[in-house]
Amino acid sequence: MKTYQQYIDGKFCESHSKDIIEVENPYTGEIIAHAPNGDVEDAEKALEAAEKAQPSWAALPVAERAGYLKKMAQAIRDNRKMLADTLTEEQAKVSGLAQVEIDVTAEYFDYYAGWARKYEGEVIQSDRPKENILLYRQPIGVIVGICPWNFPFFVMARKVAPSLLTGSSIVLKPSSDTPNTTFEFAKLVDQLGLPGGVANFVSGRGSTLGSALVKSPKTGMVTLTGSVEAGQRIIADSAPNITKTSLELGGKAPCIVCKDADLDLAVKAIVASRVIFSGQVCNCAERVYVESAVADEFMAKLTKAMSEVTYGDPFKDPNPDMSTQVNKGQLEKIEAMVAKAKTEGAEVLVGGERPAEMKTGYFYKPTLLGNCSQDMEIIRKEIFGPVLPVVTVSDFDEALALSNDCEYGLTSSVFTTSIEKMMRAINELKFGETYVNREHFEAMQGFHAGWRKSGIGGADGKHGLYEYLQTHVAYIQY
């Protein structure tokens, strides 16, 4: 059993609340850690430390700040197995994928360290003689980062790396389901000589500690990755201070399979996108629209592929394709959605239940649903599990229209060999990302940003870096 403490002002300390959060291994059901259930006082203490530390942090040359990011990358690499095992234990991510998450996180710190000497201000032409107009890009101040449970380590880096590079300090709150990797990272950071208060890691419930972090006037920006509901509460809580928010929220990614598609490629990519981390990825394939001309052939191939998906112990070698859902609530939500889809007329072609042979863990079988239609909840709401509903459409125009008929707008994909359809999909799909003839998964040099209820702002690459900077324009007469 591990016991974690808050990391505030460069020191590990007791939570003011003395209360704890029990962290469960979703595969074994064992309680594997106690993390602090921090309160409003913890939030205030962490923000005060961050506010105090930020001006001298921003005054360091950016290359020096980047040096700390490089040290973080190296510390992660030096501890890759411990961190991957911690991740697998706290959320049942299969160990191969957990290792990928750790490695990509190290790369992410290096990637943003590489921006140190690259981001720039601007010199703007003046209307007046003897005047220069200079646009500076300056740090925001104190950033509050709030993380989900599905990629707790990578998303932590998505918030810490750009904050520190650009001269802000950060208070980071992990999900109450998965605080362990964040606190293991805090222990590594503690060894790097980072000035106290620059990076603070505090755990506690979103409704108490999280909300206090958002409401504080000390907070310059809130960056949340999480559900639409949490995003809505954060918008409301940040309204009194007009605090900037950057929100990466849920998705309902459509996959369009055209009659001219390479069906084997489409099946492989869609199944991979649906079952990775047991379907608990924001950009996962959430619904399929297949043209009727190839629907029978496609469904036969898809049924075979979904029934071959393996599940089991996330530490087993070789890894199964997927493991459990993260907690009981997620499992029950998926069950209820499939039950409702069945009453609405969906046909279960594969799975559709918990596997009886698994004696522990929140497992749900890889599931394929045929005969779905646009009005069903399973086509309209995020499932976040290994369940793939399919709608047959008469043509590509209908597929585009139904894909866009959605309150989310994160990712989308199209499978086609027609250049015309590719280009129309890119121009007409109203989503932040479109993948053509490949699985859904973004790159750190891209820009991960959702339309509509999938979010505000975004992360990664140059545009993600600019989210963490504010402009300051100086008019200089001489």
Positions in the binding site for ligand NAP (CB under 6 A): 146-151, 173, 175-177, 205-207, 210-211, 214, 224-227, 230, 233-234, 248-251, 282, 382, 384, 410, 448, 450, 455
Q: How far is the CB of 430 from ligand NAP (least distance, A)?
A: 16
* Least distance in angstroms from the C-beta of 279 to ligand NAP: 11
Nearer to ligand NAP, 167 or 220 (CB): 220
Asked whether the beta carbons of 433 and 285 are under 8 A apart, the reply is no
Residue with tokens 């940003």: 449
In sequence order, the 6+-apart residues with CB closer than 8 A to the CB of 275 are 309, 321, 322, 366, 386
| Closest CB to ligand NAP: residue number | 206
Whether 248 is a known active-site residue: answer yes
Residue number, 173 or 218, with CB nearest to ligand NAP: 173
In the bound state with ligand NAP, the residue whose beta carbon lies nearer, of 206 and 352, is 206
| Shortest CB 456 distance to ligand NAP, Å | 11
Angle CA 315–321–324, to nearest 5: 65
- Written in H, E and C, the secondary structure of 217-231 is CCCCEEEEECCHHHH
Q: Which is nearer to ligand NAP, 261 or 334 (CB)?
A: 334
C-alpha R_g of the chain:
23
Query: Of the listed 48, 51, 90, 248, which one is catalytic?
Result: 248
* Least separation in angstroms between CB 424 and ligand NAP: 25
The dihedrals phi and psi of 371, each to the nearest 5 degrees, come to 60, 35
- Least distance from ligand NAP to the Cβ atom of residue 272, Å: 17
Least distance from ligand NAP to the Cβ atom of residue 151, Å: 6
Write down the least CB distance from residue 98 to ligand NAP, Å: 16
413-452 core/surface letters (b: 16 or more CB in 10 A; e: else): bbbbeeeebbebbeeebebbbbbeeebbebebebbbbbbb
51 catalytically annotated: no
Q: How far is the CB of 167 from ligand NAP (least distance, A)?
A: 24
Q: Which of 282, 284, 372, 406 is labelled catalytic?
A: 282
- Of the pair 150, 216, the CB lying nearest ligand NAP is at 150
Taking the least distance from each CB to ligand NAP, the nearer of 364 and 384 is 384
CA atoms of 243 and 446, how far apart (whole Å): 26
Residue 75 or 284 with smaller CB distance to ligand NAP: 284
Q: Which residues are catalytic?
A: 248, 282
